[in-house]
Amino acid sequence: MEQREFSLLEEPWICVIGLDDQVRSVSLTQALLQAHRIRDLVGESKTQDSAILRLLLAVVHTVFSRVDESGQSHEIASVQEALRRWGALWESGVFPSEPIQQYLSHWQERFWLFHPERPFYQVPQLQGTTNPAKKMNGALVESSNKTQLFSLWAGERKNQLTYAEAARWLIFLQGFGDTAAKKPSPKLSWLGSIGLIMAKGDTLFETLMLNLVLWKDGTERWEADVPSWEEDLPKEKLREIPLPGNQAALLTLQCRRILLLKKDQRVIGYMEAAGDYFPKENAFSEQMTLWDGIRERDTVVGYRPKPHQPSRQMWRDFSVMMGQTGRKPGVLAWIGLLKAKKKLEKSKLISFQIAGVQYGNMYCGITDEFSDQLQMYSGLLDELGYKWQRIISDEVGRCDQLVKTVGKLAYKLKRAMGGEGKTATQGMQRAQEQCYYRLDVPFRQWLLTIDPDIKLKEQRELLLFWRSQAKKIALDLGHELVEQGGTVALVGRKVTEKIGKKEKDHYYCAPKAFNQFLYELKQWEGETG
């Protein structure tokens, strides 16, 4: 019979950076009890860190939905109790050790990476697709028929994982697994199909607390928390389940059936099969995603998670984050409630981080991963911040207009240089990407000046300064594009274009295009004045 090996509660496997800036590995128990002395998770990838964060969050949710900050059994039956309990934990600045240790001790048999009956996040005696260890290692971004050109590992090291590495990637795989397993083909793992967003504090304790939504969307009571390790092992492979009504179940969702394969104290591969899934529409138990409206004609009839676009800066979705286009992410609604009820101090800076992966064709294989972070004052999230939310969203819209103006200039210059449809369009897209890139840092810097808790007339001046910066960025880029066009664009050419059923001659040249650009820039300036 297989022996118990590698307790996730006792062995170091979670990579963290402390307040002393030292990187080390800690056990799951240590990560929670020392969370106030840990700056952040620093595993192989941001997506892996986010998956592990949700595991830690599931433990915290389960414990403190059942007991209060003193360890006394007391369910959360009202929003007042949810806010009071959260506030007491936040003020303490540290998770009370006794209730966490008691809970983990009670369930310690379920936290062995290798176990004859209940290996953690796995199914014993599983039959499914056999994969080598290198496919599990998400840092390789590698499929079975396409290898990464520059890998972090080579030779035999590439084909095996330590138990600690395997534990981290096991959590990642449950959250971000692709659809490449043999039939029945698995659904795309949950975290890979949503627009994951997390609040970030100054320490791991603060990060866990800011994402500890004790009252659903700030408006509803949760069902009793039941994480996956408290449930019976599933007998089926591909299994449609009801939407979990509690956070712990959702945070520990088993999207895959997995069994690690080991040899000589190393993981050399794993068995994989389809796991649990549920419909994405109106899955409002998920508190850590952006939402997109489902429209029938001009009416929103529901919502689905809104996945991130890898090349899109996070601030460009500010209105989506704030729920101005529909539904606000639960974690932002909860933090807004905490701020309104004065559970968070004034002028508290909070970062929000997104993370995701990019899949290949038909969601088979991971081709890339991405993350972004946006910092703002918590005051923007409550009712006092509504005015500034609108101003910021308007400025994002103005940026979009400005970028389009630059893109039009680039398109006309490409046509003047002899470029046809596809070539001109690609030139326009590259110019637009460059404009967004140059606007990125100034916009983030301006956002950090906005604190609705402090009435500063300088904020108006800072807004005008940001607008002048944006205009200068566009103007400078416009000059560069004209210079790149050279003499060919300066002279230009006549192009016969079909507009509808008629053909019309149009002359493209740099002076004409730039004058039109200046005119549109002046109009933009007038609209923002």
- What is the per-residue pLDDT across 4-48, written as a single tens digit (0 to 9) for each? 999 999 999 999 999 999 999 999 999 999 999 999 999 999 999
Q: Domains in the chain, start-ordered, CATH in brackets?
A: 5-381 (no CATH), 387-528 (1.10.132.100)
Distances (CA, A) of 185 to 180, 260, 308, 427: 7, 19, 24, 40
Q: What mean pLDDT is predicted for residues 284-300? A: 94
pLDDT tens string 223-257:
999 999 999 998 889 999 999 999 999 999 999 99
DSSP 309: P
Q: How far lies 411's CA from each of 125, 311, 385, 430, in Å?
A: 60, 21, 39, 10
CA neighbor of 349 nearest in space, from 453, 467, 193, 466:
453
Q: What's the pLDDT score for residue 152?
A: 53
Please say if the pLDDT value at position 138 is more than 90.
no
> Higher-confidence residue: 171 or 359?
171
Give the model's confidence band at 149: pLDDT under 50 very low, under 70 low, under 90 confident, else very high.
very low
Percentage of the residues of the chain whose pLDDT score is greater than 90: 80
Higher-confidence residue of 184 and 442: namely 442
Query: Is the pLDDT score of 54 beyond 50?
Result: yes
Interval 485-505 mean pLDDT: 88
Strands of the sheet with 366-377, listed across from one edge? 299-305, 289-296, 195-200, 349-359, 366-377
- pLDDT for 367 equals 86
Q: Look at residue 346 in the predicted model and tell me its pLDDT.
A: 82
- Lowest-confidence segment of 227-231, 351-355, 429-433, 462-466 by average pLDDT: 462-466
**Residue bearing tokens 């697709």:** 129
Q: Extract the runs of DSSP E, i.e. beta strands, from 345-427.
A: 349-359, 366-377
pLDDT at 529 over 60: no
What does DSSP say about strands 129-132 and 14-18: parallel, antiparallel, or unpaired?
A: unpaired
Is residue 308 over pLDDT 90?
yes
Longest dimension (CA), the chain: 82
Query: Region 160-167: what's the mean pLDDT?
Result: 96
CA dist 503 and 496 (Å) reads 6
Confidence class of residue 360 from pLDDT cuts 50, 70 and 90? confident
Residues 239/277, Cβ–Cβ less than 8 Å: yes
Give 72's contacts (C-beta < 8 A, 6+ positions apart).
none
The residue-averaged pLDDT of 368-392 equals 91
SS3 sequence of 7-21:
ECCCCCCEEEEECCC
Length of the chain: 529
Mean pLDDT calculated for residue range 293-321: 94
DSSP 8-state symbol, 514: H
pLDDT above 80 for 133: yes
Q: Is 418 left (phi over 0), alpha (psi -120 to 50) or beta?
A: left
Asked if pLDDT for residue 125 goes beyond 70, the answer is yes
Please give the share of the chain, as a percent, with pLDDT higher than 70.
95
CA distance 217 to 230: 25
Distances, alpha carbon 451 to alpha carbons 142, 317, 372, 423, in Å: 44, 20, 22, 44
pLDDT, position 107? 98
According to the model, what pLDDT value does residue 143 have? Answer: 46
| Mean pLDDT, the chain, whole residue set | 92
Span 337-351, average pLDDT: 92
Kindly write down the DSSP assignment for every residue of 463-512, as one continuous string: HHHHHHHHHHHHHHHHHHHHHHHHHHHHH-EEEEEEETTEEEEEEE-HHH
Region 325-351: what's the mean pLDDT? 93
pLDDT beyond 80 at 278: yes
Point out the least confidently predicted range of 8-22, 83-97, 501-515: 501-515
- Residue 71: pLDDT over 60: yes
User: What is the rounded average pLDDT of the residues 216-224?
Assistant: 95
Which of 449, 467, 305 has its CA nearest to residue 380?
A: 449
Q: How far apart are CA 357 and CA 360, in angstroms?
A: 10
Do residues 251 and 286 touch, judged by C-beta distance below 8 A?
no
Q: Which residue has the higher pLDDT, 191 or 1?
A: 191
Alpha helices (runs of H) in 236-310, residue ranges in sequence order: 247-251
